[in-house]
Amino acid sequence: MRAFVLALFVGAASLAAAVDVSGLEASDVRPANNDSSKIRKFDVSSLGVDNVTQFTGYLDDEQQDKHLFYWFFESRGSPATDPVVLWVEGGPGCSSMLSLFQQVGPAKINENLDITSNNFSWTSRASMIFLDQPVNTGFSFGSGRVNTTADAAKDVYSLMTLFFQQFPQYAKQDFHVAGSSYSGHYVPAIAAEILSHQDRIINLKSTIIGDGITDSLVQNQFFQPMACGQGGVPAVVDNATCQAMKAAMPECQALVQSCYDTDETAACVKATSVCDKNLLDPVAENGANIYNLRQECQGDTSNFCTDSVPPIDKWLNKPEVLKTLGVGDVGRWEVCSEGVSADFSKAGDASKPLQRQAAKALEQIPMLVYAGDGDFICSWLGNQAWTNALDWSGHDAFNSSQPQALRANGSAQDYGEIKAANGLAFVRIFNAGHCAALDQPAAMFDLFSRWMAGEWASVKSKSPARTERLQGQCQAGNGLTKRQ
Residues designated as active site: 181, 375, 434
Angle ∠(42,43,47) on CA atoms, nearest 5 = 125
Which residues 6+ apart lie within 8 Å of 385 measured at CB? 218, 219, 221, 222, 472
Q: How many CB atoms lie within 10 A of CB 110?
A: 11
Which residues 6+ apart lie within 8 Å of 227 measured at CB? 235, 236, 237, 241, 242, 245, 282, 283, 288, 293, 376
Give the whole-angstrom CA distance, residue 70 versus residue 165: 16
Give the whole-angstrom CA distance, residue 449 versus residue 428: 16
DSSP letter string, 23-83: T---EEE--TT-TT--EEEEE-GGG-S-SS-EEEEEEEETTTTEEEEEEEE--SS-TTTS-
Long-range residue pairs from 191-199, CB within 8 A, at least 24 positions apart, any chain: 191/357, 191/358, 191/361, 191/365, 192/153, 192/357, 192/360, 192/361, 193/150, 193/153, 193/154, 193/156, 193/157, 194/157, 194/160, 195/360, 195/361, 195/364, 195/365, 197/157
Give the whole-angstrom CA distance, residue 155 versus residue 142: 13
The amino acid occupying position 236 is V
